Amino acid sequence: MDLNNLTIKKARKLLTDKEISARELTAYFLKNIEGKNKDINAYLEVFDDALNEAEKLDKEGIGEQPLWGIPMAIKDNILIRGKTCSAGSKMLQNYKASYDATVIKRLKMAGAVFLGRTNMDEFAMGASTENSAYGATKNPIDLTRVSGGSSGGSAAAVAMDGCLGSLGSDTGGSIRQPASFCGVVGLNPTYGTVSRSGLIAMASSFDQIGPMAKTVEDAEIIFNVIKGKDVMDSTSVDFDDNGNQSGKKLKIGLLKYDKNGVDEEINESMEKSAKIFKDLDYEISEIELPNIKYSVPCYYILAPAEVSSNLARFDGVRYGLFKEGKNLTEDYMKTREAGFGPETRRRIMLGTYVLSAGYYDAYYAKAQKVRELIKKDFESVFKSVDAIISPVSPSVAFKIGEKANDPLKMYLEDIFTAPAKMAGLPAMSIPTRLAETPAKRAGINSEGLPIGLQIIAPRFGEKLLFEMGKKYESYTSKNQMA
């Protein structure tokens, strides 16, 4: 049986029709991982009980659960009870989770099989997965290039056919940017729609768990399993999202941005994507968000401030790495020096600085005020349009090492993804379709590298994202085959 290009929906039908067992499906992906992971480094660990878990499902009999028997990969900052969860850091290299994250409980109830934990930038700080203490994850399309970050391992695992879907976390763009670089779908949900309980925190007012998959429909299936209120996360909510029930012609805002700092082929893909939505009977108009130019500088004040607070718990006393010094202060210093990598230290110091006496009002308090202005910009625009489209990143996947020594260049990777995070909005990256002839592969630039399209919706507008994404996918796949 040919299992290439399998989706969750197709796999679920094969399982239901008993054309394949959960064990056979799991074994197929484990074989793929064995053959490819040594070159790509998407997985930090492949779980040795994955086949046993699949066999248990087969013995229990086919269930009605939406992810019954579906092999999935989990980012290394989401707790699975009894499994190592290192957040890509030496600080937690021997830490075993004592409980399941809420999303893991929900995936287990839905029948998912966990294949392993995926590589990431240390404590989710980075846009290339080069900041992992365990080596960079390479892009499955071009092994000389990055997979994106911080959820680079989760994106690469899907792209290399090493799972049917994965979970990542998005703080400034960490699901959408690697999804764009690897040519898969990645959803950053509305803040609060998915519980953060059991997610190792980076910046708590930004962090959000979301799905990565081969298709929009698959991402929707995973999202519908993991979403919803949780008593363990006071920011989580239940919500009703019925999509476009009015039947009216929807309006899409094409974000106006400075095209000079963006790859020419990405600009071209935006124009073609706008035309596709127009052909799909959406009304297109150009829109401006006056204050989004401040999104990246504000993000890199607010997020490091929260990092400084959240990572204070890693002191060698309660869990994780411990390096003994002459006294308690030296214990802390030696432990953190050995446990934290350069980027993590940089952000802790930035955050500590902006929160310090004399600088709090000048930086942190001012950034919070600008964050509110950015939220208001979106609220204003959403009075005239139903959704916004923009690039995901100013470039395609860059070479490994190309930006590693230039933090500013790396931070600018968030220029299109940070604004939605500042406002707590749902946003999704889907592969674009540049090719106009079947002879040329879809959704790639002239070098064969994927380009992502970002769709942003109002709060709790995930259903609208899925509707738009599925229509876009359907239209482009038909035209590619024509």
Are 304 and 364 within 8 A, CB to CB? no
CA-nearest of 423, 449, 358, 13 to 217 is: 13
CA-nearest of 34, 77, 302, 263 to 175 is: 77
Q: Is 11 helix (H, G, I), strand (E, B) or coil?
A: helix
Tens-digit pLDDT profile for residues 223-256: 999 999 999 999 999 987 766 656 689 999 999 9
Residue 446 pLDDT exceeds 80: no
Residue 63 pLDDT exceeds 90: no
pLDDT at 437: 39
Residue showing tokens 């009870």: 81
Residues labelled catalytic: 75, 150, 174
| Tokens encoding 475 | 């239209």
pTM over 0.85: yes
What single string gives the DSSP state of each residue in 368-402? HHHHHHHHHHHHHHTTT-SEEEEES-SSSPPBTTS
- Cβ neighbors of 358 (< 8 A, separation 6 or more) are none
Which stretch of 180-189, 365-374, 393-402, 434-443 has the lowest confidence by average pLDDT? 434-443
| Tokens encoding 454 | 């970002």
Q: Is 297 helix (H, G, I), strand (E, B) or coil?
A: helix
Q: For 417-439, what is the mean pLDDT?
A: 82
pLDDT at 448: 85
CA angle, 346 as apex, 345 and 348 as ends, to 5°?
65
- Cβ neighbors of 223 (< 8 A, separation 6 or more) are 187, 189, 194, 210, 211, 462
CA-nearest of 415, 408, 400 to 260 is: 415
Q: Where do the domains of the chain lie, and which CATH numbers do they carry?
A: 1-482 (3.90.1300.10)
Q: Is 14 helix (H, G, I), strand (E, B) or coil?
A: helix
Q: Which sign, positive or negative, has the C-alpha torsion 396, 402, 407, 408?
A: negative
Residue 206 pLDDT exceeds 70: yes
Helices marked H in 170-321 — which ranges? 176-182, 216-226, 264-279, 295-310
Q: What percent of the chain has pLDDT over 90?
A: 87
